[in-house]
Structures are given as structure tokens and as C-alpha cells.
Amino acid sequence: MVFLFRRERCDFMLNTGSFVLKGNIFYSKAPDEIICVPEGFIVCVHGKVRGVYEVLPKQYANINIIDYGDKIIIPGLTDIHTHAPQYSFRGLGMDLELIEWLNRNAFPEEAKYSDLDYAGKAYTIFANDLKKSATTRACIFGTIHVEATKLLMDLLEETGLKCMVGKVNMDRNCPEYLCESGSVADTRKWLQEVAHEYENVTPILTPRFFPACSETLLEGLSRIQKEFNLPVQSHLSENLAEVEWVKELFPEALSYGDAYNRFELFGKEAPTVMAHCVYITEGEIELMKRNGVFVAHCPESNTNLSSGIAPVRAYLNHKLNVGLGTDMAAGSSNSIFKAMTGAIQVSKLRWRLADQSLKPLTVEEAFYLGTKGGGAFFGKTGSFEEGYEFDAVVLDDSNILHPQPLTLKERLERIIYLSDDRNIHDKYVAGRRIGKAIETGFDNTLGLTGVD
């Protein structure tokens, strides 16, 4: 009884969005520094961070405290580029470059999402796994299919995660079975149908990439962007052959980025995130900076598809907006911790093999990119500075054994390199506790293949 009473009281306090978490707290304000407050207090008032304290100020003495003991508390991670329909074939068919990989793997799989039964099974797995990860916010590609994209939004809404989800647009240079004839009309229908439907999920305009979108389609999407005031996600300069292809398709553009810019789908009034940016010119960097375009750095994808290594150090030097993406299924994992280590590792190879002027990324910088860097695409998220949305992940690293004493900073470093979903103890999004990892797996009511 006593336990029940406490729990009810606790849930009530959590539902008001005002509480205090106690634990070993880490967050970033800037790329080169991780702030650590051992045995500290984070105060959340109405879903927003009020402050991080070594000693709890008296005025918060009456707020409920959830004590996580020796566990580590970090801001929720943000994945600013991934593809939900491709989650089904992650870890398969990697030995190809982009265009062949799209034609052989991605397009045939995405065609299956015209079947809502298949979409339901696949997207249930995707949404459940995302909930179990350390990610609290994500920018997600669906497919061209309106109904399947709505189903994806329904499932993500239930997770409590904050997600931007896009119905994909593509009407040229793609197989007939995925080539849209009414892309703009379908997009408008989708936007009208999802308007005001969700609390956690919002639509994002999603032209697949320049080669797959006709000029008429991009003009139509530009009008829709203004009409619905939408953010935009797409791909930019991922692969050398792709960059050459865009030059052929649109020779009047000064660069690949300028091609999107000429349709007003490249930042400014349209908050925009572009995945990859492996091959970017100085002029493009200036344009991206002026327009506030976000770079989604996807190191695992760039390695698997032999695309190259994005010069993230140069982007940080230019103070561009940069975050991390998992880009599944070109990336195999939904873990932004893995994207952090990947970003560090590929930057070391780039420095060693290609360009000694750009120093490798540090663990501090990678942590920043996966938290505050990408979080900025969602506004004030990804940090525990005052006024930020209260997104937090509570990590239990007690199963990562070690014979030697470790500092808190060393424990965080090992979590970045070694943790998986089993280390996630609890999760909060916008001041709401969405709970820890689902321990029993998910029920098999949908008849999912390969689940006993």
C-alpha cells in the first residue's frame, strides 16, 4: 500500500511536468566542453529545465525528487536523419555505392509500404526499437505512401518521442513502382489529414534528393512549404557520382546546395536539415551558414556506402549547425552513441589519410553533436541549460565492469563507446517520463516474423 501511494504521488508530480532528478549529470553548452555535476540536481518546471545545481535551492524543496543514485543523467539524444522503412533491411546488402544501393535495396523495400499490413509490422518494430534507444527526438523519412506514413506517425505518437516525419516525394529517375504522378496533391492531402492529429509528431517536407525530384515537383513543394510553414529534410552531396549527376541535371546552379536554394528549399524561412554534406564547396558552406541549414553527419552510412568522410571539423570551425544521423539502413544501427563514436573514428581516418589541417573530433565534440548540436533543429533541446525542453536519459552502466577506479567522465566515455539499450534506465521527453526500455520485447499480436 505504501509503495502504491508513493508511486501514485510520484506519477502525479511527473504529470504536472515539475520535478527534480538527482544523479551524476552531464551536458554541453559548447562543442569543446562537457559539464559534469556529480550527485547533482536537475530541476524541471512545467516541462522545461530550470537549472542544474550541486545543492538543491530552497525554493524547490517541495518538488518531488527522483533519486537515481549513482546513475548518469544526460540530455536526450537527437537523430536528425533516418529512414523508418529501411530499418527492416539494416545490416544487409552494404557492399554497394549509393545509386546502386538505392536501386537494388532501398527502392524495392520501400515499395512494400503500399501494403499497410506490412507497413504496420515493420513500423511497429522501428518505433519500439527507437523507444528503447537513447534517442528522444528524430527526423524521419517515411515512403511516398500517405497511409503508411500516417500509420508511422500514429505509432511514433504512442512512443512519446518527439519526431518529425516526412512523406517522401520523388517523381523522376526512380523505378516506375515508386515514381509519383500526383506527388504535390498527395502531400497536400497528407498534410491536411495529419494537421492537429498529434501531440508528439509533426510533419516535415521530404523531397528525397535533387535527382529524384523534377523542377515542377520542387516548385510545388516550395509553395506547400510556405502554405503550411514546414521544415524540410533531404540529402545533399553524399556521393561523387550523385554530385556530378546534379550538375548535369541543373547546370545553372552554382552548387548542389544552390539547386535546392533556387527552389527556396534550403534554409532561411524553411528550417532545413541536409543529410551527409560530404562534398561541399566553400561557397556552399557560406550559403548554408547564411541560411542556417543543418548538416546531418551520418558517419556509419558514409562508411558503408563508401561515400566518403564529411569534413565536420571544417563545419564546426565555420560555426555551421551540425548534428548526427543514423541514416538507417545505409547505417545499420539506430544508436546515436554509435554515431558519436563513428564520427570520431572517421574524422581520425580523414585526418590521417586525407587532410592534416582538420584535426580529429574529440569525445566532447561528438557528445555535443549528438545532444545540443542536433537538438537545436528542434529548438531549445539537447542541453540542460535553463529554458531547454526537459529531455533526459538516465543511464545505468553497472554492467560495464571494470577492475580499476574510474572518474565520472571516464564512465561517460565508456557509455558512449560501449553501452547499448540495456544501459538505458529511464527516459524523459519534454518533461514527461516515457519510461525505460521495454524489457519483455513486444507482444506478437501482429504476427511478426522471427519473434517467438
Give residues in contact with ligand GUN (CB under 6 A). 83, 98, 102, 106, 208-209, 235, 238, 301, 327, 330
Based on CB atoms, which residue is closest to ligand GUN, 86 or 341? Answer: 86
Contact between 327 and Fe ion per CB under 5 A: yes
Residue 102's binding partner out of ligand GUN, Fe ion, none, with CB under 5 to 8 Å set by partner kind: ligand GUN
Q: What Rg value do the Cα atoms of the chain yield, rounded?
A: 22
Cis peptide before 310 (omega within 30 of 0): no
What ranges in 28-182 are assigned the alpha helix state H?
Answer: 98-101, 107-111, 116-132, 146-159
What ranges in 281-371 are assigned the alpha helix state H?
Answer: 282-291, 299-304, 312-317, 336-353, 363-368
How does DSSP classify residue 344? Answer: H
Residue 208's binding partner out of Fe ion, ligand GUN, none, with CB under 5 to 8 Å set by partner kind: ligand GUN
> What is the nearest approach in angstroms of ligand GUN to the Cβ of residue 238?
5
Based on CB atoms, which residue is closest to ligand GUN, 79 or 238? Answer: 238
Nearest to 149 by CA among 218, 204, 212, 92: 204
Residue 342 to residue 21: CA distance in whole angstroms: 30
Residue with the closest Cβ to Fe ion?
Answer: 327
Spatial contact of 93 and 104, defined as CB atoms under 8 Å apart: yes
- How many C-alpha atoms does 39 have within 13 Å on its Cβ side? 2
> What is the nearest approach in angstroms of ligand GUN to the Cβ of residue 102?
6
Q: What are phi and psi of 409, to 5 degrees?
A: -60, -40
> What is the nearest approach in angstroms of ligand GUN to the Cβ of residue 202?
21
Identify the burial level of 116 via C-beta atoms within 10 angstroms of its C-beta, where 0-12 means exposed, 13-18 middle and 19 or more buried: middle
> What is the nearest approach in angstroms of Fe ion to the Cβ of residue 261?
20
Based on CB atoms, which residue is closest to Fe ion, 327 or 396? Answer: 327
Residue 217's binding partner out of Fe ion, ligand GUN, none, with CB under 5 to 8 Å set by partner kind: none
Instruction: List the x/- string, 264-293, binding to Fe ion by CB under 5 A.
Output: -----------x------------------
> What is the nearest approach in angstroms of ligand GUN to the Cβ of residue 177?
15
> What is the nearest approach in angstroms of ligand GUN to the Cβ of residue 122?
15
- The H or E element that residue 221 is part of is helix 215-228
With contacts defined by CB under 5 A, name the span among 91-99, 107-115, 176-184, 325-333 that binds Fe ion.
325-333
Based on CB atoms, which residue is closest to Fe ion, 81 or 433? Answer: 81
Based on CB atoms, which residue is closest to ligand GUN, 98 or 394? Answer: 98
Residue 321 to residue 420: CA distance in whole angstroms: 27
Residue 74's binding partner out of Fe ion, ligand GUN, none, with CB under 5 to 8 Å set by partner kind: none
> What is the nearest approach in angstroms of ligand GUN to the Cβ of residue 70?
40
> What is the nearest approach in angstroms of Fe ion to the Cβ of residue 281?
21
Based on CB atoms, which residue is closest to ligand GUN, 9 or 104? Answer: 104
The side-by-side arrangement of strands in the sheet containing 272-276 is 232-236, 272-276, 294-297, 321-324
The gap from C-alpha 437 to its chain's centroid, in whole angstroms, comes to 18
Based on CB atoms, which residue is closest to Fe ion, 327 or 389? Answer: 327
Would the CA dihedral through 135, 137, 140, 146 be positive or negative?
Answer: positive
Based on CB atoms, which residue is closest to ligand GUN, 274 or 395? Answer: 274
Q: Which residues bind Fe ion (CB under 5 A)?
A: 275, 327
